[in-house]
Structure 1
Amino acid sequence: MLLEISQNAANFYKNEFSLQGNEAIRLFVRGAEGFFLGVEKDLLEEEAHVIEVNGVKFFITENDQWHFEGKKLDFDAKSEQMILS
């Protein structure tokens, strides 16, 4: 499995982004002093891997899939942080 996204994470992003039409949430790799999760609203790409949770479409392009392989994205309400593990 490429990436598991929890319902808590999907609900968090559903509340944060107002998605319309073909818009989705792109997950990508950001680099600085290491690799970090990048998130932005973007148009859904046909070639991308799509994960849909609670009506929210997330996508990861082929170039970024290596970073998400076998991981889980969850939202911790107590710390109010996303956790990619």
Structure 2
Amino acid sequence: MEEKEKESLLAEISRLKEELEEADKTNDILQLENDDLRTEIMSADQRTSLVIEEIGSKIDRVLAIESKVDRILEVLDGREKNNEK
């Protein structure tokens, strides 16, 4: 191999090494951003779960109140029927 070819190949290797180092830095930055986004998503999922639990709890309370109202209406309806007789 000629000296010129060797120098050209060494220059190419050096350039590729620099590109690889830059790509590694970019990859590290992207990985950190990915980790941050994953943390944000997990926090949002946790908040969503808490909201869903709270909604479920409120629905249970509404259903309990509805059940009590139904019983009261049945009692009142029974009294009205007794008073009509």
Q: TM-score range by the shorter chain?
A: under 0.3
Higher relative contact order (CA 8 A, sep 6+): 1
TM-score, normalised with respect to structure 1: 0.15
Greater strand share, structure number: 1
Greater helix share, structure number: 2
TM-score, normalised with respect to structure 2: 0.15
